[in-house]
A = this chain, B = another copy of it.
Amino acid sequence: MTLLKRITITDVAEAAGVSVSTVSLVLSGKGRISAATGDRVNAAIERLGFVRNRQAAALRGGQSGTIGLIVRDPGAPFYAGLLAGLIEELERQGRMVLLAPGGRDGRILEQGVESLLEQGADGIVIAGYPGLNGTLRERASRAGIPLVYADRASHPDTPDMVSPDNMQASRILTEHLIARGHQRIAWLGGRSDSLTRAELLGGFCATLLRYGLPFHSDQVMECESGPQPAADALVALLRRNNGITAVVCHDSRVAIGAWFGLQRSGKSSGEGGLESYYESRIELAAFADVPEASLEALPVTWLTTPACEIGRSAALRVLQMGSGERQQALAPFGVSARLIARQ
């Protein structure tokens, strides 16, 4: 395992009997070079196993070919999906992703941006930090590179944001239930201080009203996002016996809990298992960040935020901004959701 001397453009030039300029021109396909010379150079490149040094190229030329990304929680399935979409799109454009560590701490975020600038990223995407930071925008703009925020939570409408269209998602899910004949639909779960929940609930409420269906506060049940609290909450909700025939769950854990709650509250025929559900009078629907095995297993209609779409859009947006297109031409970007119906 001897460390061979790095093969440079100079070696190639020598081997092909041309100048370094010519090799560079062949590499980038820019200047005017005859087919014969081109072939000769390419042959030499192949023969020597030359790999171009992007750092040197970037040093002189400008673009490093990388887009920086900071994810607060890269292990969370949603952000993993976002990352996957982002990578895929950037790859299509011949760019790579430079991943800076995120973290709860805002200071780490700033440090991450700094590192990305050091590494010469051509643009920066920040995911999972709902509180947007003016300082960072300022920092990036001073360095002359575009910065965009992407998240599952909703953002104010500015052109450098990519987020799901929660209102629309909620409308789709609600209309689906209405189309299936439900008149009294309940809402379960979510903390009332969440912006996402507010938007989802807003879409829900607006859709009910648009179709002339009743919406009273006793149709909405707040609860912790765990199976147990959700089950309890659903039992309590149904005990009021207010004619509910369908329940929209704020997230997948709530949906699982709701399912157990249904079993317990006797809305099923008592056999247990999947079959019993189909005889129940209550239909379940849920929002989900991400496809989940438990939702596939249960008879729940669910609607996912397409994480990888958001990633893809963020990628396109940052490249767009980088290529000098005028900012005002870019509208805020809302990504729409996907419905997976059951039963």
Interface residues of A (CB under 8 A from B): 1, 3-4, 49, 51-56, 58-59, 64-66, 69, 73-77, 79-81, 83-85, 87-88, 90-91, 96-101, 114-115, 117-120, 141-144, 227, 231, 252-253, 256-257, 260, 263-264, 268, 270-276, 292-294, 296-297, 307-308
- Shortest distance between the CB of A252 and any CB in chain B (Å): 6
B256 near A297 with CB under 8 A, answer: yes
- 19 pairs from A and B in contact (CB 8 Å cutoff): A52-B118, A53-B118, A54-B119, A55-B64, A55-B120, A66-B119, A75-B85, A77-B77, A77-B80, A87-B101, A88-B101, A97-B98, A99-B99, A231-B274, A263-B272, A264-B275, A270-B270, A292-B293, A292-B294
B66 near A74 with CB under 8 A, answer: no
B51 near A144 with CB under 8 A, answer: no
Contacts of A83 in B (CB 8 A): 74-75, 80, 83, 99
Q: How far is the CA of A254 from the CA of B231 in the complex (A)?
A: 24
A297 near B77 with CB under 8 A, answer: no
Q: How far is the CA of A218 from the CA of B268 in the complex (A)?
A: 35
A308 near B98 with CB under 8 A, answer: no
- Shortest distance between the CB of A118 and any CB in chain B (Å): 5
- Shortest distance between the CB of A54 and any CB in chain B (Å): 5
Q: How far is the CA of A119 from the CA of B52 in the complex (A)?
A: 9
Partner of A268, one of B65, B119, B272: B272
From A97, which residue of chain B is reached at the shortest CB distance? B99
A-B CB proximity, top 4 nearest: A294-B294, A80-B80, A75-B84, A263-B273
Other A-B pairs, 7, CB within 8 Å; known A52-B118, A53-B59: A55-B59, A91-B101, A96-B119, A98-B98, A227-B297, A260-B274, A263-B272
From A275, which residue of chain B is reached at the shortest CB distance? B264
Q: How far is the CA of A197 from the CA of B208 in the complex (A)?
A: 50
Q: How far is the CA of A90 from the CA of B115 in the complex (A)?
A: 13
Contacts of A76 in B (CB 8 A): 80
Q: How far is the CA of A117 from the CA of B80 in the complex (A)?
A: 25
Q: How far is the CA of A88 from the CA of B87 in the complex (A)?
A: 19
From A3, which residue of chain B is reached at the shortest CB distance? B144
Contacts of A142 in B (CB 8 A): 4, 49
Contacts of A117 in B (CB 8 A): 51
Q: How far is the CA of A73 from the CA of B80 in the complex (A)?
A: 10
B91 near A96 with CB under 8 A, answer: no
A56 near B59 with CB under 8 A, answer: yes
From A91, which residue of chain B is reached at the shortest CB distance? B101
Contacts of A114 in B (CB 8 A): 51
